[in-house]
Amino acid sequence: MIDRKAEVILSALGFNDEELSILLIDDERMAALNEEYRGKAGPTNVLSFSMREGEFGDVTPLLGDVVISVETAFREASEAGISLDERLSQLLVHGILHLVDYDHERSEADAEIMEAKSLELLRLIESNPQLSAF
């Protein structure tokens, strides 16, 4: 199911021929990745690793990796009163948008743009009209 959602998201963004790797992992592994790549202790909900950066970024059809901690997603879904599937959709959208150069941390304006695009994409893959962007 998550692979179909990724296809819909990528198609809506105009990335029909690109590839994506999605990893669903536990908090222990996520904490290790978060420490190694971001220098932050503990797990996070989603990480994105772009394959489009650097000297050879334009020669691969692979956009990159979206890594989601299912344990963290489950906790967050419970706290938000939504299903795990809905939370995974939110995180998938968020991760993919980072891979295609959306960044909510650059500026407030960029955050607003990313939130609007997130909502647009969520409406394509989820039926809950009350589901927020992230």
Tell me the mean pLDDT per 10 residues along the chain, length 134.
95 93 98 97 96 65 93 97 97 96 86 94 94 82
pLDDT given for residue 25 in this prediction: 98
DSSP state of 54: S
Q: Note the pTM of the prediction, 2 decimals.
A: 0.92
Q: How far apart are CA 74 and CA 81, in angstroms?
A: 10
Report the CATH number at residue 67: 3.40.390.30
Per-residue pLDDT at 133: 77
Domain count of the chain? Answer: 1
Domain span including residue 14: 2-125
Calpha distance 115→122 (Å, rounded): 10
Residue 131, in any domain of the structure: no
107: three-class secondary structure by DSSP: coil
